[in-house]
């Protein structure tokens, strides 16, 4: 919304909920069921017959299928629905990457009703058990051996059963790929990928849970690795059939090669996009909206200064009472902002059952190493107080 205001773009918000900004929307709010694609597309087409639309943009995983279908119905630039569905389903994505000759974990899809004790002896270890289409590492657990697999399987199955979509009758078991993980932000224009930023993830993501914390850009990897990451990401988007708009990709460097973990047809989640500034202070959202609306695209090279974000993890369950040390954290050199996204009184649920972070720390400085150090220093000054 801030980016749209900066570009003088009129916005219609489509949501399954009533957003907090609803009183400001002056009739430009559509309440839609994102699981009922056909009915929701019909509502968007009906609205557009009276109020013509220039673009449909999804802002999170939940809206990508609807945005694609609505774009197709309105004759606007869009990703094919089948491509979005493949990107949103880890098994379909793995199969597409494999067909394209890309390195991706070995995997199998199993019903959540399977008896895990009967399959444990046939698996390779360590392995990772995960839902087909949840995001943010929710429900993702590593199993190290045959004896631990049944408990891990049942825990993930319980998380999957709590969700409503059809894909939540199954889960994925895949090979664990060790190594260093990176993230890519990009923009597709008629099938051609422009890499906007590569993030290092300096914390090891080895399990048993896969809680992401720190992202830092520019990457400290050498130019050869960065070029390979860009080329592999472009191949992965092509394998899925994605052609238009933002993408967020996750890859691992292992045994001197790149493994594609996922490519999502959306921008980076949460508030993490605040780390990125382009050209004369342009935000990632402005870049995305300029492309979607067909507006002129000025120079948008990523600014030279290093930047990073730390997604504040939830370490223990309980009702949030307070987060102490906030001012001390903000005073750490190179820390730019601290934003808490869960208010006092709300219940904290850690991974793998949880799907939220406590908040975000932002830093900006001369070197990626100093930005990373500032984030760790600031986080060490925070104390989370909860009660049962």
The CATH classification of domain 106-175, taken from the options 3.40.47.10, 3.30.70.120, 3.30.1490.20, 3.40.190.10: 3.30.1490.20
Mean pLDDT of 214-219: 97
pLDDT of residue 136: 82
Residue 258's pLDDT band, with cuts at 50, 70 and 90, is very high
358 pLDDT above the threshold of 80: yes
Closest CA to 81 of 65, 98, 58: 65
The string of pLDDT tens digits covering residues 108-138 is 999 999 999 999 999 999 999 999 988 888 9
Q: Where in the chain is the domain with CATH 3.30.470.20?
A: 305-388
> C-alpha angle 268/273/278, rounded to 5°?
120
Residue 165's pLDDT band, with cuts at 50, 70 and 90, is low
The string of pLDDT tens digits covering residues 67-78 is 999 999 999 999
Instruction: Please give the CATH number for the structural domain made up of 305-388.
Output: 3.30.470.20
179 pLDDT above the threshold of 70: yes
The string of pLDDT tens digits covering residues 78-97 is 999 999 999 999 999 999 99
Dihedral sign, Cα of residue 377, residue 135, residue 63, residue 194? positive
Q: Where in the chain is the domain with CATH 3.30.1490.20?
A: 106-175
The string of pLDDT tens digits covering residues 30-67 is 999 998 999 999 999 999 999 999 999 998 888 999 99
Closest CA to 196 of 258, 275, 252: 275
pLDDT of residue 168: 65
Residue 21's pLDDT band, with cuts at 50, 70 and 90, is low
Q: What is the pTM of this model?
A: 0.93
């Amino acid at each position: 919304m801030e980016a749209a205001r900066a570009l003088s773009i009129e916005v219609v918000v489509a949501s399954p909920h009533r957003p907090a900004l609803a009183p400001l929307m002056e009739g430009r709010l559509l309440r839609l069921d994102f699981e009922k694609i056909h009915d929701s597309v019909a509502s968007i087409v009906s609205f557009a017959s009276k109020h013509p639309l220039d673009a449909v943009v999804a802002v999170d995983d939940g809206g990508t299928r609807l945005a694609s279908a609505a774009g197709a119905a309105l004759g606007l630039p869009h990703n094919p629905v089948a491509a979005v569905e493949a990107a949103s389903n880890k098994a379909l994505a793995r199969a597409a990457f494999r067909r394209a000759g890309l390195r991706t974990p070995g995997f199998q899809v199993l019903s959540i009703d399977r008896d895990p004790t009967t399959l444990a002896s046939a698996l390779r270890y360590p392995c990772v058990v995960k839902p087909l289409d949840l995001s943010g590492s929710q429900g993702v657990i590593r199993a190290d051996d045959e004896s631990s697999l049944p408990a891990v399987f049942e825990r993930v199955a319980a998380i999957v059963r709590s969700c409503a979509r059809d894909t939540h009758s199954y889960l994925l078991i895949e090979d664990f790929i060790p190594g260093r993980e990176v993230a890519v932000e990009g923009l597709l224009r008629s099938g051609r990928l422009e890499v906007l930023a590569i993030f290092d993830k300096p914390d090891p993501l080895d399990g048993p849970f896969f809680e992401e914390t720190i992202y830092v850009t520019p990457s400290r990897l050498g130019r050869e690795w960065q070029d390979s990451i860009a080329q592999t990401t472009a191949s992965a988007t092509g394998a899925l059939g994605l052609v238009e708009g933002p993408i967020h990709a996750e890859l691992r460097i292992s045994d001197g090669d790149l493994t594609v973990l996922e490519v999502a047809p959306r921008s980076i989640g949460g508030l993490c996009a605040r780390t990125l500034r382009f050209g004369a202070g342009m935000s990632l959202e402005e870049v995305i909206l300029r492309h979607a609306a067909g507006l002129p695209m000025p120079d948008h090279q990523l600014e030279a200064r290093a930047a990073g974000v730390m997604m504040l993890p939830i370490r223990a369950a309980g009702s949030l009472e307070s987060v102490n040390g906030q001012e001390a954290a903000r005073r750490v050199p190179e820390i730019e902002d601290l934003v808490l996204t869960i208010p006092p009184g709300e219940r904290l649920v850690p991974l793998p059952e949880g799907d939220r972070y406590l908040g975000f720390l932002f830093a900006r400085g001369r070197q990626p190493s100093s930005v990373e150090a500032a984030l760790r220093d600031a986080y060490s000054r925070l104390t989370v107080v909860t009660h049962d």
